[in-house]
């Protein structure tokens, strides 16, 4: 973006708009009120703006400052660097570049990376939605907040050359076993099951795994509780304890037709 030119303009903040595709999910109102309380016109800084083809003026960087200015005076004229001709993807990439120091959350980054047409993020979106899930910041059934875990599963899938894709197989198991229970989308559950599928590959019958997890009782919430307790006795990682319990559940009553016990206990 360094070669992209801009004009410097004074624009009333009431004219500036926000596109949620290239911004954080929400403002930090404490930050807005702090800026408003200590507002100094000489230190207001520059807002980065995209003037789109419809002449709309959209904030790329400076949403918190714009809101503080608006609360003081909707007609306040902010100093803006106005870019023209940017694509949505270019706006999204500029947002990430400009917010390197004040890092957005992983969920914010995911949404913006989608707008930037990032291949990994688009693959996550395609797989999660195809299984009835949605990456979303609000805890609720069918919502996944553990976006960092999704990226790690993508990397693991590439490492083991999983077929079908490891994230798809993991969400298939979780959804068929427990539906869209939000506790099934916790990071340790996602990664614990993904690790099991990656470790055993074709030796693992996913249909049997689904049935065993469904019949285990207590759902993903109890699995998480039991794994936390098991990890505490070993000073180990909860995600590995999830994998161990999942394998033990799978092997139950299979009488020699199961897989080898999980050994990664730390």
The answer to whether residue 40 sits within a structural domain is: yes
Confidence label for 2 from pLDDT (cuts 50, 70 and 90):
very low
The answer to whether residue 108 sits within a structural domain is: no
Q: Do residues 157 and 89 both lie within one domain?
A: no
Q: What is the pLDDT of residues 62-101, one digit of tens each?
A: 999 999 999 999 999 999 999 998 998 888 888 888 876 5
Q: Do residues 215 and 241 both lie within one domain?
A: yes
The answer to whether residue 264 sits within a structural domain is: no
Q: Do residues 131 and 231 both lie within one domain?
A: yes
Q: Which domain range does residue 241 map to? A: 118-251
Q: What is the CATH number of the domain that holds 46?
A: 3.90.1530.10
- Could you tell me what percent of the chain has a pLDDT over 70? 96
From 52, 70, 100, the end of a domain falls on 100
Total domain count, the chain:
2
Q: Do residues 137 and 221 both lie within one domain?
A: yes
Q: Pick the residue with more confidence: 91 or 133?
A: 133
36-50, 190-204, 213-227, 234-248: which has the minimum mean pLDDT?
36-50
Q: Do residues 15 and 69 both lie within one domain?
A: yes
- Segment 231-236 shows an average pLDDT of 90
Confidence label for 3 from pLDDT (cuts 50, 70 and 90):
low
The answer to whether residue 260 sits within a structural domain is: no
Q: Do residues 74 and 160 both lie within one domain?
A: no
Q: Dihedral of CA 234/236/238/240: which sign?
A: negative
pTM (2 d.p.): 0.70
Q: Do residues 69 and 138 both lie within one domain?
A: no
Q: Do residues 245 and 190 both lie within one domain?
A: yes
The answer to whether residue 58 sits within a structural domain is: yes
From 72, 100, 128, the end of a domain falls on 100
Confidence label for 4 from pLDDT (cuts 50, 70 and 90):
low
Q: What is the pLDDT of residues 15-37, one digit of tens each?
A: 999 998 888 877 888 889 988 88
Q: Which residues are within 8 A (CB) of 36 and not within 5 positions of it... i.e. 6 or more apart?
A: 68, 71, 72
Q: Do residues 74 and 41 both lie within one domain?
A: yes
What mean pLDDT, rounded, does the chain reach?
A: 90
From 45, 67, 100, the end of a domain falls on 100
Q: Residue 178: is its pLDDT beyond 50?
A: yes
Q: Do residues 23 and 93 both lie within one domain?
A: yes
pLDDT at 139: 87
């Amino acid at each position: 973006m360094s070669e992209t030119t801009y004009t410097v303009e004074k624009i009333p903040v009431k004219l500036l708009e926000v596109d949620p595709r290239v911004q954080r999910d929400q403002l930090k109102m404490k930050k807005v009120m702090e800026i408003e309380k200590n507002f100094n016109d000489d230190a207001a800084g520059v807002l980065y703006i995209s003037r789109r083809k419809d002449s709309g003026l959209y904030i790329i960087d400076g949403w918190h400052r714009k809101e503080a200015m608006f609360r003081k005076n909707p007609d306040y004229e902010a100093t803006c660097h106005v870019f023209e001709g940017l694509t949505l993807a270019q706006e999204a990439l500029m947002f990430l570049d400009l917010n390197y120091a004040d890092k957005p959350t992983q969920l914010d980054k995911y949404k913006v990376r989608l707008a930037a047409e990032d291949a990994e993020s688009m693959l996550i979106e395609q797989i999660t939605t195809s299984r009835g899930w949605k990456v979303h910041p609000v805890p609720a059934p069918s919502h996944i907040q553990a976006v960092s875990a999704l990226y790690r599963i993508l990397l693991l899938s590439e490492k083991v050359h999983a077929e079908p894709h490891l994230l798809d197989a993991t969400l298939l198991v979780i959804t068929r076993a427990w539906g869209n229970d939000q506790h099934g989308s916790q990071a340790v559950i996602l990664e614990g099951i993904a690790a099991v599928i990656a470790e055993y590959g074709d030796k693992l019958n996913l249909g049997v795994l689904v049935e065993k997890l469904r019949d285990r009782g207590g759902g993903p919430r109890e699995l998480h509780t039991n794994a936390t307790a098991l990890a505490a006795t070993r000073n180990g990682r909860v995600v590995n304890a999830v994998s161990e319990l999942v394998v033990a559940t799978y092997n139950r009553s299979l009488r020699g037709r199961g897989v080898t016990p999980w050994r990664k206990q730390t």
